[in-house]
Amino acid sequence: MPQAHASIPVLFIVLDGLADRPQAVLGGKTPLESAHTPHLDRLARLGVNGQLIPLAPGIPLESETSHFLLFGYPLEQFPGRAAFEAIGRGIEVRAGSVILLASFAAITVRDGVVYRDALLWEQHQAKDENDCGVLSAAVAAYESHGIRFALRDCGRCEGILSLTGNPSRSVSDVDPFVDGAAVARALPLAEDPDQDNARRTADALNAYLGWVHARLEAHPLNHQRRRNRQPAINFVLTKWAATKPQVAPFVEHNGLRAASVENYPLYTGIARVCGMTPVRVARHASLLRDFQDKLQTADDLFRRGYEFVHVHTKGPDRAAHRKDPLEKKHAIGELDSALGPLVRRLEHDQDLLVVVTGDHATPSHGPLIHSGEAVPLLIAGGPNVLADQLARFHERVAFQGSLGQVYGRDLMPLVLNLTDRVGLYGVRHQRQNRPYQRREPEEPFRVPSPPGRGLG
């Protein structure tokens, strides 16, 4: 069996929320299409291009699900986002427990129905964060239907809610994700065959949330906030039920020693769960400087022997969530400005494979949080990329690239193939079926062999 060329490292850049829809304020172009992106366009000409479909056409994903698929893991092993959120904050997820992300909110009750007014973490007020810490202690412990609830404050008006007592993960989200919308009642998920336990867990969660509302409404701190003409922090919105992750480390699953360069707890958690080394880079007010720091950190990691480095930036996604196409266009242009040194390296050397894509589409206009459009994808560098010479990198032309449409689950095999690490289908030298070619057999054959008796 030929040896793999393990010297080709992989730089895996994810521009969060990159793809978009035509925007009237941009003359019918997308923010990416209208942005000044000479370096992304040059990478497109140097590489192969296509459309990335994270899961299925038209299905919008959140970042954690998309990253899980892009890293080559099957959706069946997805533990739930709250696991990443907890582990990214240094909180252990214990076997047998269910955890949820809990966000403190201001709500209004009309005709008995709870409506979300605002999430407190979105206000970015230091006093709100301090107040949430005080209020968290008031609703930290509860029991109902044999299920115990423990809320741990994580700062920024968020917490991790842990359920023990044989709870079910199959409970729906309560947070409507939109201000002014009615808060949802926790429901048992229909696909769980153990409906009794799912219903018991949902009923217990609803009881806890009702108790939380009553406790917070009556809390002296909220009385003081009302006197100061501040909104009461009077509810906790839960979402993304999860259990203890059970996934193989990235190096075992894909055959690459991997690191992740990021600055959000969610991505720290994804890295830890997937057995990648998380490298937190301090956030910078300048998006350009922030991205430059991350790319420099990635270069340092390659020098330390890492073979796969994921670099994440949230700039385009943040702008799109503010429903500002012009801001998103500007953010993409800033990120492009940081790519000059990388482009110059690839123009002269073939010692690095670069993947650039987004994790999902985030429309910068309209009611959707994320949307189901395909995301542009380019792969450049290395000795094996047969460039398709596409001149631009954006949604309207990506389908013309030679990669065509690539599903999230198929991206890592493409990367392994282009770096000469992919395993020959049908050949097995290991217990688990993995997509990469092992450098050494899982168990080498040794002599003398165990004693036996020849029959010939």
pLDDT of residue 443: 87
pLDDT of residue 123: 65
pLDDT of residue 423: 86
Give the pTM. Answer: 0.94
d(CA 16, CA 14): 6
d(CA 149, CA 37): 49
Cβ proximity of 97 and 81 under 8 Å = no
Q: Are strands 158-164 and 147-153 parallel, antiparallel or unpaired?
A: antiparallel
Domains of the chain, first to last: 10-78+246-418 (3.40.720.10), 87-242 (no CATH)
Token code pair at residue 164: 């023990």
Q: Print burial letters for 216-234: b (CB count within 10 Å at least 16), e (below 16).
A: beebebbeebeeeeebbbb
Token code pair at residue 141: 């412990």
d(CA 75, CA 444): 32
Place of tokens 């206009």: 365
Residues of the chain with pLDDT under 50: 1-6
> 339: closest CA among 323, 356, 322, 327?
356
> 150: closest CA among 158, 140, 159?
140
